[in-house]
């Protein structure tokens, strides 16, 4: 017998435990925002090449920025049960918090009936994977980690911040 509490806490499952797409048709469209981040650590020479724009493949961060934007726009085709969300704005930021670590931060905005956490997380992941792809000839030992949600606002659950 299915656990009835499961459908209350995991909204992508019905009372019988079957996967379902959540119906957001009755929810009001409100302004929603989500910010996610992640890191890629690398050899010092790789970081230097990225900063200087001297990678053999060109502007690593510019290409990775476009990849992150495309990924956010296509999240519903990558993650089962995600809604197709009209993104009204998206910012991608890159910084080096230390000499061998590149951080990607993505903030996504929408006015819709569901949030954009998955879009922000997907954008970060694909942006970092693009950095790896463009630099793997120089450094196959790069490590992507720390992908997480930092902030979300809007909707019934209100504002949430990672502390």
Question: Which residues are part of the catalytic machinery?
Answer: 133
Close Cβ partners of 83 (under 8 Å, ≥ 6 residues apart): 21, 22, 24, 76, 112, 114
Distance CA 71, CA 130 (A): 11
Beta bridge partners of 145: 39
* Cα angle value 86/125/34 (rounded, 5°): 45
Close Cβ partners of 59 (under 8 Å, ≥ 6 residues apart): 53
Distance CA 61, CA 104 (A): 10
């Amino acid at each position: 017998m299915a656990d009835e509490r499961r459908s209350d806490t995991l909204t992508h499952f019905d009372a019988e435990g079957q996967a379902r797409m959540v119906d957001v048709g009755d929810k009001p469209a409100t302004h929603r925002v989500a910010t996610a981040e992640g890191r890629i650590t690398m050899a010092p020479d790789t970081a230097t090449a990225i900063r200087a724009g001297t990678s053999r493949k060109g502007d690593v961060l510019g290409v990775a920025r476009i990849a992150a934007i495309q990924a956010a726009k296509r999240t519903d085709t990558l993650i089962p049960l995600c809604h197709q969300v009209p993104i009204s704005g998206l910012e991608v930021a890159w910084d080096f918090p230390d000499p061998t670590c590149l951080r990607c931060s993505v903030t996504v905005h929408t006015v819709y009936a569901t949030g954009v956490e998955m879009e922000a997380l997907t954008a970060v992941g694909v942006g970092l994977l693009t950095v790896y792809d463009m630099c793997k000839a120089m450094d196959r030992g790069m490590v992507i980690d720390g992908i997480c949600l930092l902030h979300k606002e809007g909707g019934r659950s209100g504002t949430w911040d990672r502390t």
